[in-house]
């Protein structure tokens, strides 16, 4: 606790008895939180505590010495002692969470850790006097920490403070809403939900307040605005965590806490029991999901090592309607986020549909007798590398799935991508094949340097096949002429693996001006072309060869995915993108096929899916005709919503006919 008196902050520690939660959920916590508290208590008990006499408290607070004032309540008396400072803060006013969100970029880890700290604190102090003051993004503050070297103060997002005004009677701070006409019965819960929305979207909630506006209209407008933000996917960007969104909605939904409704005429015992039940609901529906999410990402560990905020940076935002820009030319309002084009929106929906299919496979697997695979599908991506510091790679769905990295350019031990092309493809394959493990080989610094990188590609193919034992090797690039070293590497890999390895490559992006590139035109490689979200083949595709009965294409227009050194997803087009999606679909299908036990029909045929001939047979039964003869549009739409028998008959039947 810090108190400000005129020109300085005073560090204060107050220890009081507190109750513990007795709910059913197993409680997770920050590793050092309670340990520190117990340690402080032991230190204080070992020191000589002096009684704070009447009138002495204010004198102690305003002494201005560089120490921590430790206060403890024992046997009804207020005692004090002094300890060295644990932190040195700059003696300047704090910075509100709202201002932090407006001026700084917070990483996903920063947001989740801070959201949990705030939610846990609201639960911990829910029935205490600490809740008799507003908890909002304006009252949550951050202090600049100084050091002895004279550096400017640093802001740590995992060290929030609460600005308290105890003497103010605020109707928005009651446990039960006393504002006539307010929709939400519990103001403290609503306020927490709004802060979680602000943290998730990375911007303060827009409040269109009018001087004569009734208080009920004000609090209801804030609630409805927050609700609308939860429905607007653009506001959340890459911060796409279902458990987080569930916690937010439980806070904002007025009926969540009606399982333990406040009853005005209840006795003191009944009121306390109801309050305890509401507090338990808060933990079960809000705090615990956030804990669980942090445990899953392993971000709970060493959270104190999260670095301080960097210098302020412009935040991309969505301009509210009828809001005029404010400030001088030196402090311009950030430009509105670029509106997505129709094709970008369609591509995003296409990927969401594929995500739904993958989720369906996971949900139905136990019920239809599919077993967990002992070995996950392995996909090797040969490209410009991967920037694993992009926000996408901190998602719980991605954690631990980047299994290995090999750099044939600079020999770096850590993943890197100077261009972005590789990052886009790696993240795209991770999306399309959520149950596959990914291996990344850096063969060039940029697509332009691939012309001189054929030896690197050949080495990467051999390594991916032999060392990584990859099931799929994806190459979103090509050469005008055949590269003998690459042909040799492909041939050797097929020989060693008895043809049970799949190669994917991008056809070409030069339309009819050039022929299909190598290695896409290699006899052992599956060549992929690009379509729009409706299955129409784009004009950047090369023409079909006369000796080809059919060619395959999938989504390759305005596809969103991560990019190197970027917090936002980037939309890219071309056969390179389509190749990543096709490789991801193949990886997803291999995982599904491998989960079928011996008692299932077509069991002896399922291993043919690991051959080029087998995968092409699967692609044929899944693809639909396009407007061009011999151009087949690859999707998994025919498998969505089907019974297990129908789904497996389609795939297993295609393999059994080979």
How many Å apart are CA 91 and CA 145, to the nearest integer? 9
| Alpha-carbon dihedral 596, 600, 604, 609, rounded to 10 degrees | -40
pLDDT at 5 > cutoff 60: no
Within 10 A of 4 (CB to CB), how many other CB atoms are there? 14
pTM: 0.55
pLDDT of residue 352: 94
How many Å apart are CA 496 and CA 43, to the nearest integer? 66
pLDDT of residue 311: 60
pLDDT of residue 51: 87
Has residue 317 been placed in a domain? no
DSSP letters spanning 102-118? HH-PPPHHHHHHHHHHH
Task: Say if residue 153 is in the same domain as residue 273.
Answer: yes
Has residue 415 been placed in a domain? yes
Has residue 54 been placed in a domain? yes
Whole domain around residue 374: which residue ranges?
342-657
Q: Which of 634, 537, 523 is nearest to 585 (CA)?
A: 634
184-188, 392-396, 403-407, 632-636: segment of lowest average pLDDT: 392-396
pLDDT at 636 > cutoff 90: yes
Query: How far from the centroid of its chain's Cα atoms is residue 85's Cα?
Result: 36
Task: Say if residue 439 is in the same domain as residue 506.
Answer: yes
How many Å apart are CA 392 and CA 376, to the nearest integer? 21
Q: What b/e readout covers 444-458, taking b as 16+ CB neighbours within 10 angstroms? A: bbebeebeebbebbb
Task: Say if residue 409 is in the same domain as residue 270.
Answer: no
State how many domains the chain has: 3
pLDDT of residue 326: 32
Tokens 């990052």 belong to residue: 423
Has residue 34 been placed in a domain? no
pLDDT of residue 658: 87
Highest mean pLDDT among 96-100, 208-212, 410-414, 455-459: 455-459
Task: Say if residue 640 is in the same domain as residue 545.
Answer: yes
How far is residue 592 from each of residues 69, 369, 580, 605, measured CA to CA in Å? Answer: 62, 12, 19, 14
Task: Say if residue 347 is in the same domain as residue 227.
Answer: no
> Among 285, 305, 325, which residue terminates a domain?
305
- The mean pLDDT value of the chain amounts to 84
pLDDT of residue 339: 78
Task: Say if residue 158 is in the same domain as residue 63.
Answer: no
pLDDT of residue 103: 85
Has residue 336 been placed in a domain? no
Q: What is the pLDDT of residues 145-203, one digit of tens each?
A: 865 444 557 888 999 988 887 666 666 677 777 778 888 888 999 999 999 999 999 99
Has residue 248 been placed in a domain? yes
How many Å apart are CA 402 and CA 41, to the nearest integer? 44
Average pLDDT over residues 366-374: 70
pLDDT at 40 > cutoff 90: no
The CATH number that applies at residue 446 is: 3.40.50.200
pLDDT at 128 > cutoff 90: no
Has residue 463 been placed in a domain? yes
pLDDT of residue 171: 67
Average pLDDT over residues 478-490: 96
Cβ 587 vs Cβ 377: under 8 Å? yes
Q: What is the pLDDT of residues 252-293, one digit of tens each?
A: 998 887 776 766 667 778 878 888 888 899 999 999 999 988
Q: Which of 147, 117, 154, 151 is nearest to 135 (CA)?
A: 117
Burial of 126 (0-12, 13-18, 19+ CB in 10 A): buried
| Residue bearing the bigger pLDDT, 596 or 466 | 466
324-328, 469-473, 485-489, 536-540: segment of lowest average pLDDT: 324-328
Residue 389 has, within 13 A of its CA and on its CB side, a CA count of: 8
pLDDT of residue 168: 60
pLDDT at 13 > cutoff 90: no
pLDDT at 122 > cutoff 90: yes
- Helix residue ranges, H only, 19-135: 33-46, 57-61, 97-103, 108-124
> Among 305, 324, 353, which residue terminates a domain?
305
Task: Say if residue 375 is in the same domain as residue 438.
Answer: yes
The percentage of the chain sitting over the pLDDT mark of 70, rounded to a whole number, equals 85
pLDDT at 66 > cutoff 80: no
Q: What is the pLDDT of residues 460-477, one digit of tens each?
A: 999 999 999 999 999 999
The CATH number that applies at residue 215 is: 1.10.510
Residue 398 token pair = 């991605």
pLDDT at 595 > cutoff 50: yes
- Region label for 367, one of left (φ > 0), alpha (ψ between -120 and 50) or beta (otherwise): alpha
Q: Which residues are catalytic?
A: 383, 421, 576
Task: Say if residue 78 is in the same domain as residue 101.
Answer: no
Q: Which of 109, 118, 430, 122 is nearest to 301 (CA)?
A: 109
pLDDT at 32 > cutoff 80: no
- Helix residue ranges, H only, 232-383: 233-236, 242-252, 268-282, 288-297, 342-364
Task: Say if residue 129 is in the same domain as residue 252.
Answer: yes
Tokens 């409805």 belong to residue: 224
| Residue bearing the bigger pLDDT, 90 or 471 | 471
Task: Say if residue 377 is in the same domain as residue 494.
Answer: yes
Task: Say if residue 53 is in the same domain as residue 167.
Answer: no
Q: Which of 213, 193, 217 is nearest to 205 (CA)?
A: 193
Contacts of 76 (CB under 8 A, 6+ apart): none
Cβ 280 vs Cβ 288: under 8 Å? no
Task: Say if residue 498 is in the same domain as residue 619.
Answer: yes
Cβ 383 vs Cβ 445: under 8 Å? no
Has residue 326 been placed in a domain? no
pLDDT of residue 2: 52
pLDDT of residue 17: 60
């Amino acid at each position: 606790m810090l108190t400000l008196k005129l020109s300085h902050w005073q560090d204060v520690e107050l220890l009081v008895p507190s109750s513990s939660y007795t709910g059913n959920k197993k409680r997770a916590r920050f590793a050092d939180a309670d340990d520190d508290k117990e340690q402080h208590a032991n230190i204080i008990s070992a020191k000589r505590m002096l009684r704070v006499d009447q009138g002495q408290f204010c004198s102690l607070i305003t002494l201005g010495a560089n120490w921590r004032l430790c206060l403890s309540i024992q046997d009804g008396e207020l005692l004090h002692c002094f300890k060295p400072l644990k932190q040195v803060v700059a003696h300047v006013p704090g910075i509100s969470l709202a201002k932090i969100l407006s001026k700084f970029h917070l990483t996903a880890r920063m947001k989740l850790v801070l959201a949990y700290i705030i939610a846990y604190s609201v639960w911990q102090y829910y029935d205490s006097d600490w809740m008799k003051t507003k908890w909002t993004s304006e009252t949550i503050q951050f202090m600049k920490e100084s050091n002895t070297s004279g550096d400017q103060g640093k802001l740590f997002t995992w060290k929030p403070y609460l600005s308290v005004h105890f003497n103010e009677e605020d109707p928005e701070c009651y446990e039960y809403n006393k504002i006539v006409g307010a929709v939400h019965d519990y103001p403290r819960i609503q306020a927490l939900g709004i802060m979680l929305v602000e943290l998730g979207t990375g911007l303060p909630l827009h409040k269109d307040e009018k001087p004569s506006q009734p208080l009920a209209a004000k609090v209801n407008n804030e609630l409805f605005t927050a609700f609308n933000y939860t429905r607007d996917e653009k506001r959340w960007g890459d911060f796409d965590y279902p458990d987080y969104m569930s916690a937010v909605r439980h806070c904002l939904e007025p009926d969540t806490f009606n399982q333990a409704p406040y009853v005005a005429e209840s006795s003191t015992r009944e009121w306390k029991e109801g309050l305890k039940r509401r507090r338990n609901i808060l933990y079960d529906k809000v705090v615990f999901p956030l804990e669980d999410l942090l445990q899953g990402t392993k971000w709970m560990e060493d959270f104190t090592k999260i670095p301080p905020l960097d210098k302020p940076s412009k935040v991309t935002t969505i301009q509210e309607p009828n809001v005029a820009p404010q400030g001088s030319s030196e402090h311009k309002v950030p430009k509105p986020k670029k509106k997505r084009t129709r094709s970008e929106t369609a591509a995003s929906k296409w990927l969401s549909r594929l995500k739904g299919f993958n989720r369906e496979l996971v949900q139905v697997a136990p019920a239809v007798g599919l077993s967990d695979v002992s070995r996950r599908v392995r996909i090797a991506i040969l490209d410009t590398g991967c920037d694993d510091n992009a926000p996408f790679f901190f998602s719980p769905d991605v954690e631990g799935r980047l299994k290995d990295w090999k750099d044939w350019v600079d020999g770096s031990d850590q993943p890197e991508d100077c261009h972005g092309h590789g990052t886009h493809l790696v993240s795209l394959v991770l999306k399309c094949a959520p149950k596959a493990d990914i291996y990344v080989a850096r063969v060039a610094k940029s697509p332009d340097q691939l012309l001189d990188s054929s030896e690197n590609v050949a080495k990467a193919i051999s390594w991916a096949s032999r060392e990584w034992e990859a099931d799929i090797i994806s190459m979103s690039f090509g050469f005008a002429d055949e590269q003998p070293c690459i042909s040799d590497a492909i041939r050797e890999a097929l020989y060693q693996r008895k043809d049970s390895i799949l190669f994917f490559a991008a056809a070409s992006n030069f339309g009819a001006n050039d022929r299909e590139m190598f290695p896409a035109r290699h006899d052992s490689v599956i060549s992929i072309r690009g379509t729009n979200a409706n299955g129409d083949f784009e004009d950047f595709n090369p023409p079909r060869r006369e000796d080809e009965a059919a060619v395959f294409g999938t989504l390759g227009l305005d596809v969103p995915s991560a990019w190197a050194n970027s917090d936002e997803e980037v939309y890219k087009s071309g056969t390179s993108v389509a190749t990543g999606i096709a490789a991801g679909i193949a990886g997803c299908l291999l995982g599904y096929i491998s989960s079928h036990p011996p008692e299932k029909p077509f069991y002896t045929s399922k291993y043919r899916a690991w051959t080029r001939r087998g995968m092409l047979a699967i692609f044929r039964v899944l693809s639909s005709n396009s407007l061009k003869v011999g151009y087949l549009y690859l999707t998994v739409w025919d498998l969505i919503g089907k019974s297990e028998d129908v789904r497996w008959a389609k795939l297993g039947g295609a393999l059994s006919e080979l």
